[in-house]
Chain A
Amino acid sequence: MRVLIIEDDGQLAAYLAKAFGEVGALVEHAADGRDGLLQAAGGDYDVLVVDRMLPLLDGLGIVRTLRASGDKTPVLILSALGDVDDRVEGLRAGGDDYLVKPFAFSELHARVEALLRRAVPGDQPATRLVVADLEMDLLTREVVRAGERIALQPREFRLLEYLMRHAGQVVTRTMLLEQVWDYNFDPQTNVIDVHVSRLRGKIDKDFDPPLLQTVRGAGYVLRAA
């Protein structure tokens, strides 16, 4: 995985470079908007992590220019501005995801992974999701594990669907709130955990091995052991 980080905060950039290095990515760094755009246009990256506020050329400008030139490299925008309209603006400019500072690296990593997965070409619109012995039929909305039918509430179904679509990938609580609940807000309690544990009770409790695991400090992952 080749990652270009365009970020003017040297400390943050160094930390991100180190952290991405630890998960096996090749990292390059640009410290201002103009260099960033030149590097992004010239290099072959899997994902761009772009700070929104940059000297010389701001992050949205970079993304717009890239998109206008037909470059479809996934872009994740980092910003200290967390308003919904800022977010919408970032996504409209051509960003694929938007993360508000400060963030945990695990959150950034999970989102970058999700972007890479999305970018894999030839992804057929699935009608059936399978993770180990857990199967989900998106047409009949049936969920079966080890041949046994599991009854789910509509929201539990969407939660499981999202987890299965991102099987093997860490998904954070914020990602679940945004994608499954479709609201952008700050739950004061770890209310998502309660939903996940309910879902776990239905798909994992009477079966072995457990598929839905908690990743400390990050979120959840659904994977075949």
Chain B
Amino acid sequence: MSFVRLSFVLSSFTFRLAVLYALLLGVSVAILLGFIYWSTAGFMARQTDATIDAEIQGLAEQYRRRGLTGLSTLIVERVARDPGGAGVYLLADNDYQPLVGNLHAWPTAEPDGDGWLEFRLREPVAGRPAEPPTEHAARAMVFRLRGGLRLLVGRDVRELSATRAVIQDALAWGLAMTAGLALLGGSLMSAGVVRRIEAINEVGREIMDGDLSRRAPSDGSGDEFDQLAVNLNRMLARIEALMASVRQVSDNIAHDLRTPLSRLHTKLSQLRDTDLPAESAASVDAAINDAEELLSAFNALLRIARVESGSRRAAFTDLDPVPLLHDVAELYEPLAADKGQTLDVRPDLSAASGAADADMGRGLCVHGDRDLLFQALANLLDNAIKYTPEGSRILLDAIALSGALDISVTDSGPGIPAELRRKVVQRFYRIDESRSAPGHGLGLSLVQAVAQLHGAALRLDDANPGLRVVLRFDQAKSLMA
């Protein structure tokens, strides 16, 4: 569970954007701080080196002019003049034996190619014997004099090291704070972005659930997200218009064909009423049946169109679903009985079944159209009876949930494969196995249209085995007695 959560967090856009933001900001700040370090601590180190270099040049000059004596005197003078100072001097012979200076021994470290030497001062600097021997860093340059002498001039760089450490500390803290702030800022920023994307996503989901009238929120700011929302909305409006025109065309066809078809039906009926040989009579009966089937498909199509137009919403009333359920079950019970099926009604809308806000003893009511709800439930029962084998069990029930009402028809038949459940609500869609049964594939489309008109969700579930069709009414409220 926690792993799933973690991987979800890691894969979330918010997290990745925040990390990316922190990383970019962190790298930029690190480069900036590196430059600051180079130009402060580095500057100080270069200053030290320049001082040492100048001193060496000075001493070498003295040696050239006044020989060894002059050099020694000068070194002694310098050491004496600045007993606690940072200067380190040592003049040694060819075998590194110290001659003059404030170092007791030649450092063991090897100088680099340029003659620079880093070493640790382990002894008290001459002139300060009271101090316990401490260890600190020193930097020196080695210079070879004529006659095999070696001159070491250096600086105790502990001040420099300390300063450098302070700068390093400050920079490290700065970097850490930058990382923290960057993560925080990144999270806030990406949360803002994600919130806006999520708002658009939410609309997308609702549209896929069938509510094509939903639109992405636009704040009118004209920024990229706003433009995305606006473009999306334009696209949706276009799709809706196209769908409406397709529907309009099919409705018009149904409407226009109905009149000639009903004339055909009338003429066939008239023909049937005349004296016909038995053979012709049978053919005419079959033709009448066909015409009736066509008419009924057209009527079903037009009924769906009328329901979808939403005009019937004006006539909605608050109604108790329980008598409705009993009525529709009573109507279909004989049909089920003829097929050896059992049809049970179990409306359970009492407060005890989970509706926290429902008053005791009162059920829930649905705001809707009595005839259309009856029609929808009739279609569901009709399907259940038609598409389940003899001896199946069919259950019509209603369950009150908090703030919602589920009315469902459950059967113990073969069910509908998950991948086809979305398709069966499409107009004229019929599962291959059911093509032999009477019907025109519009029953569930009408149920869907009725559900949408009522703001209810139509869901097809697996009843293990069988099919469970659920109509969920979200705005169910307590029935006023």
Residues of A within 8 A of B (CB): 11-12, 15, 19, 80, 82-85, 88, 101-106, 155, 181, 183-189, 191, 194-195, 198, 217
Chain A contacts for B331, CB-based, 8 A: 181, 187, 191, 195
Question: Is B295 within 8 A of A102, CB to CB?
Answer: yes
Chain A contacts for B296, CB-based, 8 A: 186, 188
Question: Is B338 within 8 A of A84, CB to CB?
Answer: no
Residue of A nearest to B376 (CB): A185
Complexed CA–CA distance, A103 and B265 (Å): 9
Question: Is A185 within 8 A of B382, CB to CB?
Answer: no
**Does B130 count as interface, using CB distance less than 8 angstroms?**
no
Residue of B nearest to A81 (CB): B306
What is the CB-to-nearest-CB distance from B478 to chain A, in angstroms, rounded to a whole number? 25
Residue of B nearest to A18 (CB): B270
Complexed CA–CA distance, A191 and B330 (Å): 11
Residue of A nearest to B291 (CB): A102
* CB contact between B338 and one of A19, A183, A186, A194 (< 8 Å): that residue: A194
Chain B contacts for A88, CB-based, 8 A: 315
> Given A83-B311, A102-B262, A217-B269, A191 and B371 touching (CB < 8 A)?
no
Chain B contacts for A189, CB-based, 8 A: 335, 382, 385-386, 438
Question: Is A84 within 8 A of B335, CB to CB?
Answer: no
**Does B236 count as interface, using CB distance less than 8 angstroms?**
no
* CB contact between B263 and one of A11, A82, A155, A217 (< 8 Å): that residue: A11
What is the CB-to-nearest-CB distance from B215 to chain A, in angstroms, rounded to a whole number? 28
Interface residues as binary, B286-309 with A (CB distance below 8 Å gives 1, 0 otherwise):
001000000110011011001000
Residue of A nearest to B371 (CB): A184
Question: Is B327 within 8 A of A102, CB to CB?
Answer: no
Question: Is B332 within 8 A of A185, CB to CB?
Answer: no
Complexed CA–CA distance, A85 and B309 (Å): 14
Complexed CA–CA distance, A85 and B310 (Å): 12
Complexed CA–CA distance, A181 and B262 (Å): 27
Complexed CA–CA distance, A181 and B326 (Å): 12
Complexed CA–CA distance, A19 and B272 (Å): 13
| Top 9 closest pairs, chain A to chain B, by CB | A102-B262, A185-B375, A194-B334, A184-B371, A183-B374, A188-B382, A85-B315, A194-B335, A185-B374
What is the CB-to-nearest-CB distance from A78 to chain B, in angstroms, rounded to a whole number? 12
> Given A85-B312, A217-B288, A185 and B265 touching (CB < 8 A)?
no
> Given A83-B312, A85-B311, A198-B334, A187 and B382 touching (CB < 8 A)?
yes
**Does B414 count as interface, using CB distance less than 8 angstroms?**
no
**Does B266 count as interface, using CB distance less than 8 angstroms?**
yes
Question: Is B266 within 8 A of A104, CB to CB?
Answer: yes
Most-contacted residue by chain B among A88, A105, A183 (CB, 10 A): A183
A-B contact pairs, 6 of them (CB 8 A): A12-B263, A19-B270, A85-B314, A106-B269, A187-B382, A189-B335
Most-contacted residue by chain B among A85, A184, A191 (CB, 10 A): A191
Complexed CA–CA distance, A11 and B262 (Å): 12
> Given A83-B306, A181-B327, A186 and B299 touching (CB < 8 A)?
yes
- 8 Å CB interface, B184-228 against A: none
Residue of A nearest to B328 (CB): A183
* CB contact between B259 and one of A83, A102, A186 (< 8 Å): that residue: A102
What is the CB-to-nearest-CB distance from B373 to chain A, in angstroms, rounded to a whole number? 9
Question: Is A104 within 8 A of B265, CB to CB?
Answer: yes
Chain B contacts for A185, CB-based, 8 A: 371-372, 374-375, 378
